[in-house]
């Protein structure tokens, strides 16, 4: 498995005191991961190595290509080699279970992802409105406001790679009491979400009713969309929401909260799920 972090040379310049100090720095590793299904290339993303099977499975689920972890029979790293002949572990090949086919063709955006954007590069917004089979609007979950406001701090406590590099996003899946069920980090915010979904899907069959997705980044359309596809009714973001994220949250019935830093948060859709008492 590839390294999560690596050491690089750095020169730190302080203009105020006129100093220049050269010393090593720890940075997050960013490498490509190609996801194949039955030997056919499906997607390529720039990611932090680690939890690659979670990422591959989560991507298949949040893109609406498969319905559960049981649809995937096996996953393995292909033995692709770097220029020096060492294995890179940068290709995951998933084999579908007997009788299973992808629920729809991979959309154009899926062919090349980046660690940074997500919706950027889509042929159109309509092309990324993956139809969810889950009526997430009907989820009756209620989350106390104090619990919701505390989730970013709880997530931050588990961001070990960020502590070392300052260069990764995090995502976590929590229950309605604020207990984090799974946390993953990645240089890409949507990769972190896919890793969380893939990990959760190994233990629980989607939809993930009664849960909260918390992300260390802004609330983009794609993050809200991924939540809707797998039935996560509440999304919490440390950063700002985008206009399309708000619009889609309203359409799909997701409770979207952003600028969440205890004791404050902003609610953009479905405030009825939040208990303030």
Per-residue confidence (pLDDT) for residue 123, from 0 to 100: 43
Please, what CATH class does the domain formed by 136-275 belong to?
alpha beta
Which residue's structure tokens are 């063709």? 105
* Bind-site residues: 259-264
User: Could you tell me which of 214, 199, 195, 209 has the C-alpha nearest to residue 257?
Assistant: 214
Per-residue confidence (pLDDT) for residue 218, from 0 to 100: 95
Domain ranges (residues) in the chain: 31-128, 136-275
Per-residue confidence (pLDDT) for residue 121, from 0 to 100: 38
Strands of 169-175's sheet, edge to edge? Answer: 180-186, 169-175, 211-215, 234-237, 255-261, 264-269
Per-residue confidence (pLDDT) for residue 83, from 0 to 100: 72
Per-residue confidence (pLDDT) for residue 198, from 0 to 100: 98
The residues facing 241 across adjacent strands are 219
Q: Is there a catalytic annotation at residue 78?
A: no
Per-residue confidence (pLDDT) for residue 141, from 0 to 100: 98
Per-residue confidence (pLDDT) for residue 118, from 0 to 100: 47
Per DSSP, the residues of 139-201 read ----EEHHHHHHHHHHHHTT-HHHHHHS--EEEEEEETTS-EEEEEEESSHHHHHHHHHHHHH
What torsion do the CA atoms of 94, 58, 64, 216 make, to the nearest 10 degrees? Answer: -150
Evaluate whether 68 touches 109 at the Cβ level (below 8 Å). no
Q: How far apart are the first and last CA of the chain?
A: 47
Question: Among residues 78, 117, 120, 257, which one is catalytic?
Answer: 117
Per-residue confidence (pLDDT) for residue 243, from 0 to 100: 95
Q: Over its length of 277 residues, how does the chain's per-residue pLDDT go in tens digits?
A: 468 999 999 999 999 999 999 999 999 999 999 999 999 999 999 999 999 999 999 999 999 999 999 999 999 998 777 677 677 789 999 999 999 999 876 655 444 555 554 444 344 456 555 557 789 999 999 999 999 999 999 999 999 999 999 999 999 999 999 999 999 999 999 999 999 999 999 999 999 999 999 999 999 999 999 999 999 999 999 999 999 999 999 999 999 999 999 999 999 999 999 997 5
Q: 61: which 2 tokens? A: 């689920």
Per-residue confidence (pLDDT) for residue 3, from 0 to 100: 84
The domain made up of 31-128 is a member of CATH 3.20.20.210: no
Q: In the Cβ-directed half-sphere of 217, how many Cα atoms lie within 13 Å?
A: 26
Evaluate whether 94 touches 36 at the Cβ level (below 8 Å). yes
User: Could you tell me which of 181, 44, 166 has the C-alpha nearest to residue 113?
Assistant: 44
Q: Hey, CA dihedral for 150, 152, 153, 159, is it positive or negative?
A: positive
Q: 164: which 2 tokens? A: 């070392």
């Amino acid at each position: 498995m590839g390294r999560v972090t690596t050491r690089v040379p750095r020169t730190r310049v302080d203009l105020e005191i006129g100093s220049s100090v050269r010393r090593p720095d720890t940075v997050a590793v960013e490498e490509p991961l190609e996801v194949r299904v039955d030997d056919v290339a499906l997607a390529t993303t720039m990611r932090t190595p680690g939890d690659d099977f979670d990422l591959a499975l989560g991507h298949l689920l949040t893109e609406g290509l498969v319905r559960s972890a049981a649809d995937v029979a096996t996953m393995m790293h292909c033995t692709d080699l770097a220029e020096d002949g060492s294995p890179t572990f940068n290709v995951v090949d998933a084999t579908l279970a007997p009788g299973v086919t992808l629920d729809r063709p991979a959309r154009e955006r899926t062919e090349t992802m980046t660690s940074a954007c997500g919706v950027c590069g889509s042929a159109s917004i309509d092309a990324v409105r993956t139809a969810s089979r889950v009526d997430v609007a009907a989820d009756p979950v209620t989350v106390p406001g104090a619990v919701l406001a505390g989730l970013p701090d709880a997530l931050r406590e588990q961001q070990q790679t960020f502590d070392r590099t300052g260069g990764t996003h995090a995502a976590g899946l929590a229950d309605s009491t604020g207990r984090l069920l799974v946390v993953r980090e990645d240089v890409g915010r949507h990769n972190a979400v896919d890793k969380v979904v893939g990990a959760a899907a190994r233990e629980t069959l989607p939809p993930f009713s009664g849960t909260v997705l918390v992300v260390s980044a802004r609330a983009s359309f794609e993050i809200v969309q991924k939540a809707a596809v797998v039935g996560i009714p509440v999304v919490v973001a440390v950063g700002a929401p985008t206009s399309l994220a708000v619009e889609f949250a309203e359409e799909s019935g997701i409770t979207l909260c952003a600028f969440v830093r205890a004791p404050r948060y902003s609610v953009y859709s479905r405030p009825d799920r939040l208990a303030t008492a």
